[in-house]
Amino acid sequence: MSFSFPQKLHLPHFSLKPLSALYFSFTLRFLSVSLVSVFIPIYILKLTGDFLYVLLFWAGFSFLVVLFAIPLGFVVSRIGFRWSVFVASLLLAAEFYLFSVLEGNLMLLYVIALVEAAKLHLFWLPYHLIFIKDGSDERFGRQISVVGVIGRLVSVAAPFLGGFIIASRGFPTLFNLALVLALVSSLPLFAMPHHPHQQFPGWRHILEKTFTGGYRNMFFAFWGVRSVDLVASIAWPVFLFGISGESYKEVGLITSAVLLVSAVTMSAAGKASDKIGKRRVLRVGAWINSAVWLVKAFIRTPIQALVVDSFNKMVDGIQGVPFEALTYHKALHRKHPLEFVIRREMLLHFGGLITSVLMIGLWHWGAPLTALFIIASVGYLTSTLLIRSK
């Protein structure tokens, strides 16, 4: 006797196209995450008193993501997209709750890393598969940019609001607000047509192929993208907190302003990716962003940070959108899309683990925080290797 989740909930008679449902769900999720994400490394730093623990947290998280990729890929194939995202929303809410009570028990950081790793697969595997199955290869750039634009416009005030709440009410209040939004974010997906369960290719097959020479270029491309993400989400907020005089409001205000700028330019990046070509736009975006991260190392004031980071996010879509579009293009030519996205997450976060260990080493050896920005600069350049991958 086998068990499976029901694929229909008794909701009002309302249906959405798959990508529309995905847009609604992602926007609500993006809003909840935008309230807190820039403050999480600062929060861990304030509680532990050492940036090393921030880096160790993300290193442990990256290891768990690689470890869980195949088992949770199997879970997604069995319970379907909607229930996967629903469980991911519950885990996101649980993560925010654990952060709200973290001050009394720092050992909960281990549990949070575990929850975060599981949540990542249960959300992002269905997210990518919906895009691959229901998107259009000729319009991937525009479709990817729509998600980014809507999410950023809706969430543009979230970081500033988050900083204001922390300054006036404290971190627990902020995490509780994000918790509510996280629970609501999965509901739009239950209004879309049911996707059939995915065929699971088998763990042996995935492991045999993932770390072979044929995926070397893809690995370095994903390592580059993940390196940029880690430096931007760990080192940059802490750096920004320091030059702003440890002001949560200033960190939130700068982040909100940058979100608005990135929303305005992302749509243009999507159109350029489809019209000019994914590969050409990706190369241009990677070189520009690589140079910007070197400039960031010389920032000394909040105004400089606002100007340079705004320019960074203005051109970030020129690299990010075609990178994702090219990834989906390659996935379309695979026999098992689920196998491809599982492999994507394994390569991405194995690269993240390497970068985390590298940052730990640099910090331990006394390198300044700005030295970590060089990793992001190099990461943008290696992301272009996706063009040469199979």
Please state the domain extents for the chain: 18-192+203-388
Give this prediction's pTM: 0.88
Crossing angle, helix 18-36 and helix 108-134, to 10 degrees? Answer: 150
* Helices of type H across the chain: 18-36, 40-48, 51-79, 81-100, 108-134, 140-155, 158-168, 171-184, 203-210, 216-230, 236-243, 248-275, 278-296, 302-332, 337-364, 373-382
> What is the C-alpha to C-alpha distance for residues 105 and 245, in angstroms, rounded to an integer?
27
How far apart CA 121 and CA 84 sit, in angstroms, is 9
User: Encoding tokens for residue 171?
Assistant: 């971190």
Quick one: 18-192+203-388 is in which CATH superfamily? MFS general substrate transporter like domains (1.20.1250.20)
Sign of CA dihedral 352, 359, 106, 43: negative
CB 62 within 8 A of CB 93: no
Q: What is the pLDDT along the chain (390 residues), one digit of tens a residue?
A: 344 444 444 444 444 566 677 677 778 888 899 899 999 999 999 999 999 999 999 999 999 999 999 999 989 888 888 888 889 999 999 999 999 999 989 999 999 999 999 999 999 998 888 878 776 667 777 777 777 777 777 778 889 899 999 999 999 999 999 999 888 887 777 766 665 666 677 777 777 767 666 678 889 999 999 999 999 999 999 999 999 999 999 999 999 888 888 877 787 777 888 888 888 989 999 999 999 999 999 999 999 999 999 899 888 888 888 888 888 888 877 777 888 889 889 999 999 999 999 999 999 999 999 999 999 999 999 999 998 887
